[in-house]
Structure 1
């Protein structure tokens, strides 16, 4: 697992890069504010119920949550499943909103 800053992530999104971004927050958090990531709550990672991500095993997978803690857990789970390029968004959506607003 590596770290990616919200600034780097936003720059890459603004540049139109095709990114695999996963939001591991709960649905109500996602509905309140999101950056267009795919929602897969952390509980599904903990149950290893992430089969739809398996085709991305050798690609970069960027994971975020509210503050960076749940996404770090999700990255560690993916790493244990053989994913080779996971990135945790440092500071999560709190950092995003502080830097860019909502």
Structure 2
């Protein structure tokens, strides 16, 4: 008899909006996995955008280059808070990052919607910049 052992999925730590703000104030970096269009409408100061999904006429398509793109910006030991619009894409992205060996990565539950709702500072890029 052959048994195939599958390693368990890494446990995703999800933080709320207040914890996310505190982490960002203490050295964590913000990875925004929303689309470029969503990101251009506003994001926390210092956020880096790498879309996790693309919205196409055929539906949502996972960014096949996501892990490679993130690896060019962040090291596997960097402290990262992953956020999206509400926390759905970010939990998927966080799981993928943890599986790829990113050790200090947390999901931001509530996402940018919670950030904006609390009135925390939002950077809105100027057109043409």
Q: Distance in 1 between matches of 2:64 and 2:91?
A: 12
- Cα deviation, residue 53, structure 1: 4.2
State the distance in 2 between where 1:83 and 1:54 align: 9
What are structure 1's unaligned runs of at least 5 residues? none
Kept after mapping to 1: 8 A contact 2:86/2:113: yes
Q: Point out the structure with the larger helix share.
A: 1
> Which one has the largest radius of gyration?
2
| TM value normalised by structure 1 | 0.81
Q: 2: CA distance between counterparts of 1:5 and 1:38?
A: 19
Q: How does 1:41-80 map to 2 (within 5 A)?
A: 41-43=51-53, 46-47=64-65, 48-50=67-69, 51-53=71-73, 55=75, 57-80=76-99
Name the one with the larger strand percent.
Answer: 2
Structure 2 gap segments, 5+ residues each: 1-11, 54-61, 123-129
Matched residue count: 99
